[in-house]
A and B are shown apart, each in its own frame.
Chain A
């Protein structure tokens, strides 16, 4: 029987880590992810895990220590947010290119500057090209489920890539909600042991990690890395199926909410999907065919599947909780638009930047977006595609 609990998103991550019992956790405090290593270090002090907890002096060292540990052959995990993730930046790329399946809880927070501790997605969106698999979570349950699946995805022999599991800072990281946990033995059975083919602490086969890689080979290695993240698509689905058998909870690349016959839809990431779903329900009650697509997997980007899911929608608003300063829209918008191009042309598609720096996103804001889509559907005119909601102009 699953365990019914009430946990915050951060507690859920720490509990998952206790159940996983990784070899090494290296982390540094930063709001709002601090609680994860806090709870976890208590598990260490209580002897509930065998993990070596490395209380590093920076996030750069957190990721560096994870790299050293993972290369040695260990299962290594960390947690961070915002500037912490930014300080890791250099090492994120090196973890991925060294093909080390490190797992990270990324508690999304606005990246400085100006300094702000509240939620948006500018931190992990900035890391989208680092070679990490990115899974996003609407609530504590999804964050927990994603973290358990993350290990199996990253450590799969066809993948061997690091994975970050993202959730919204404070909104879900600190909000206590009901959650269904797996029993410890079931988690242990599901995640198994990490047994890499090659690792540094193998006396029979010492290895080198991180060579100087000049033009004769660098390109091939990057190509192999690109192939690995392509292969992760199948693995993500296989792991999700296995997880569903264990828990009854179903996961895919994204969640479709009343999207099947929808004429207008929004595409969104993380917790605001919950707010948007209530708006969809309200619109549906009024006979409006509104729907929603919530991204779970942003890297690899499931372009074909998203296109298939959106191809019959008349007007789409892509919601970005991050600026990319391209002057044409946010990162999710450009990805979705590129995915649709040449495959599902003729759909009116607009972008909304919302909720930066933790600005509250109310159901009214989401309604405003759907109303704009209704207007576009009626007139057939897209108008300005790069829009904002909830900001004082």
Chain B
């Protein structure tokens, strides 16, 4: 994958939470992760892995988990198996949301991980419903009349929390990987369906300097653009509260996709984004009993 990409870092962090004696079947939606880790005749996966299509990794992995359940009933299983589906935001927020929702609602003992890089990166940076407002993508280009994407980012983590499944969490590549590790462990070992939404920056789509990957993640947390929280058995918990909440500019200015917002005539757009972040952060604080 590209230097400075968040996706493989996220995948490694999540799989590290798997106990060495356990087996796992992983799956991925079509996307950067899948095409760059499983190109015939090679695979980067040491565990069993399946890719079938773009919109259906939730259903595909749910089928494998159903097979495991049947084998347990028949006494046919060898090994303690876990099931993890990976999808980008396109394969999760958009084309795969039905398959994801179905798999979670049915209660399969599986983890769905969205590595959210906020656009269709594999096909060349097209906007998705996860792309933040005013970001410049190839299908929401900033131009003389329209300053990038016109809609706010869909809040998928809340949508998944509304499924009332045992575990839903939002995280990113935090400085010491403690948060993502603990959340992965819970997601994998808590019985029933779990959903992890991991902000995974993309250097090509976001246009940041590749060594800044971890800094971008940190700024997403400290500006409260990407809050770190979990919903365990219906209980909302904030896992990170910045000592000093930074202005959104600090996050935006390091990314080429927001460069046009720093033109004089677009200052009010940054103010609008700040108001939106503030409102959503306050809402979250209240939900988590922090306000």
Task: Report B39-76 residues with CB < 8 Å from chain A CB.
Answer: 39-41, 43, 45-53, 55-56, 58-71, 73-74
Q: Which of B97-105, B197-205, B212-220, B261-269 contacts A (4 or more CB under 8 A)?
A: B97-105
A50, A60, A94, A207: which contacts B59 (Cβ < 8 A)?
A: A60
Chain B residue nearest in CB terms to A200:
B48
Pairwise interchain contact B59-A52, C-beta atoms closer than 8 A? no
Q: B64 contacts A68, CB within 8 Å? A: yes
Closest to B108 in A: A54
Q: Which of A24, A58, A206, A210 has a CB less than 8 Å from the CB of B67?
A: A24
**B38 & A52 in contact (Cβ 8 Å cutoff):** no
A208–B43 contact, CB under 8 A? yes
Cβ of B139 under 8 Å from chain A: no
B67, A69: Cβ atoms under 8 Å? Answer: yes
Interchain CB contact under 8 A, B50 and A210: yes
Q: Can you list, as one digit per residue, whether each of B70-92 has a CB less than 8 Å from chain A (1) or not (0)?
A: 11011001110100000000000
Closest A residue to B78 using CB positions: A203
Q: What sequence of 0s and 1s flags, for each residue 342-382 of chain A, a beta carbon within 8 Å of any chain B beta carbon?
A: 00000000000000000000000000000000000000000
Known: A54-B106, A72-B25, A208-B45. A67 touches B52 (CB 8 A): yes
Query: Could you say which residues of chain A place their CB within 8 Å of the CB of B68?
Result: 72, 201
Contact B67 A76 (CB under 8 A): yes
Is B35 an interface residue, CB under 8 A from the partner? yes
B50 adjacent to A54 (CB under 8 Å): no
Asked if B164 is at the interface of the complex by the 8 Å CB criterion, the answer is no
**At the interface, yes or no: A5 with Cβ under 8 Å from chain B?**
no
- Name 10 A/B residue pairs within 8 A (Cβ), A-sorted: A54-B62, A55-B106, A68-B60, A69-B64, A200-B48, A201-B68, A203-B78, A208-B48, A212-B39, A214-B39
Is A217 in contact with B63, judged by CB distance below 8 angstroms? no
Tell me how far the C-beta of B177 lies from the nearest C-beta in chain A, rounded to whole angstroms.
25
* B59 contact set on A, CB distance < 8 A: 56, 60-62, 64-65, 68
Q: What is the CA–CA distance of A210 and B56 in the complex, to the nearest angstrom?
A: 13
Question: Is there contact, CB below 8 Å, between B102 and A71?
Answer: no
A57 B105 Cβ-Cβ under 8 A: yes
From 68 to 117 in chain A, residues with beta carbon under 8 angstroms from any chain B beta carbon are 68-74, 76, 90-91, 94, 98
Question: At the interface, yes or no: A51 with Cβ under 8 Å from chain B?
Answer: yes
The interface residues of chain A, by DSSP majority, are classed as: mixed
Closest to B46 in A: A206
Residues of B within 8 A of A (CB): 23, 25, 27, 34-35, 38-41, 43, 45-53, 55-56, 58-71, 73-74, 77-79, 81, 98-99, 101-103, 105-106
Whether the pair B79, A203 counts as a contact (CB closer than 8 A) is yes
B102 touches A56 (CB 8 A): yes
Say whether A64 contacts B51, CB under 8 Å.
no
B50 engages A200 (CB within 8 Å): yes
Does A64 contact B60, Cβ atoms closer than 8 Å?
Answer: yes
Q: In whole Å, how far is B50's beta carbon from the nearest beta carbon of chain A?
A: 4
Given A61-B56, A201-B81, A74-B23 contact (CB < 8 Å): no
Q: By the criterion CB–CB under 8 Å, are B48 and A207 in contact?
A: yes
- Residue from the list B35, B48, B52 in contact with A201, Cβ < 8 A: B48
Using a CB–CB cutoff of 8 Å, the interface residues on chain A facing chain B are 23-24, 26, 50-52, 54-58, 60-62, 64-74, 76, 90-91, 94, 98, 200-203, 206-214, 217
Complex alpha-carbon distance, A67 and B99, angstroms: 14
Instruction: List chain A residues, Cβ under 8 A from B71.
Output: 23, 73-74, 201
Q: Which residue of B lies closest to A90 (CB)?
A: B53
- Contact B102 A68, beta carbon cutoff 8 Å: no
Q: How far is the CA of A200 from the CA of B59 in the complex (A)?
A: 16
The one of A50, A98, A210 that contacts B73, using a Cβ cutoff of 8 Å? A50
Which of A62, A98, A200, A202 lies in contact with B52, CB distance below 8 A? A98
Q: Is the CB of A91 within 8 A of B70?
A: no
**B60: chain A residues within 8 A (beta carbon):** 64-65, 67-68
Give chain B residues whose Cβ lies under 8 Å from the Cβ of A94: 52-53
Closest B residue to A209 using CB positions:
B50
CB atoms of B40 and A54 under 8 A apart? no
CB <8 Å contact, B63 and A24:
yes
A131 CA / B83 CA spacing, docked (Å): 28
Q: How far is the CA of A354 from the CA of B49 in the complex (A)?
A: 46
Residue of B46, B69, B70, B99 touching A61 (CB-CB under 8 A) = B99
State in angstroms the CA–CA spacing of A213 and B35 once bound together. Answer: 9
Residue contact B52 to A52, C-beta cutoff 8 Å = no
| Given A68-B62, A68-B66, A212-B35; 7 other pairs, CB 8 A cutoff | A50-B70, A64-B56, A72-B25, A201-B77, A208-B50, A209-B50, A210-B52
Among A68, A76, A210, the most chain B Cβ lie within 10 Å of the Cβ of A68
A217 CA to B56 CA, complexed, in Å? 25
Shortest CB distance A223–B (Å): 14
- Residues from chain B with a CB closer than 8 A to the CB of A211 are 38-41, 43, 51
For the complex, what is the distance from the CA of A52 to the CA of B70, rounded to whole Å?
A: 5
| Residue in chain A with minimal CB distance to B75 | A50
Among residues of B, the one whose C-beta sits closest to the C-beta of A198 is B48
Smallest CB–CB gap between B56 and chain A, Å?
4
Q: How far is the CB of A347 from chain B (nearest CB, A)?
A: 44
Q: Do B102 and A76 touch across chains, with their CB atoms under 8 A apart?
A: no
Assuming A74-B71, A201-B77, is B66 touching A54 (CB within 8 A)?
yes
A207 to B43, CA, bound (A): 9
CB-CB under 8 A from A55, the residues of chain B are 106
Contacts of B74 in A (CB 8 A): 23, 50
What's the least CB distance linking B43 to chain A, in Å? Answer: 4
**Which A residues are CB-close (under 8 A) to B50?**
67-68, 71, 200, 208-210
C-alpha spacing A32/B8, complex, angstroms: 46
A68 and B63 form a contact (CB under 8 A): yes
In the complex, the answer to whether B69 meets A52 with C-beta atoms within 8 Å is yes
State how many angstroms separate the Cβ of B94 from the closest Cβ of chain A.
15
Rounded to whole Å, the gap between the CB of B49 and the closest CB of chain A is 5
CA distance A61 to B57 in the complex (A): 9
Which residues of chain A have C-beta atoms less than 8 A from B79's C-beta? 201, 203
| Cβ–Cβ < 8 Å partners of A76 in chain B | 63, 67
From A26, A57, A200, residue with most partner B Cβ within 10 Å: A200
Q: Please tell me if the beta carbons of B52 and A69 are within 8 angstroms of each other in the complex.
A: no
* 7 A-B pairs closest in CB distance: A68-B63, A65-B63, A57-B102, A74-B67, A61-B59, A200-B48, A64-B59
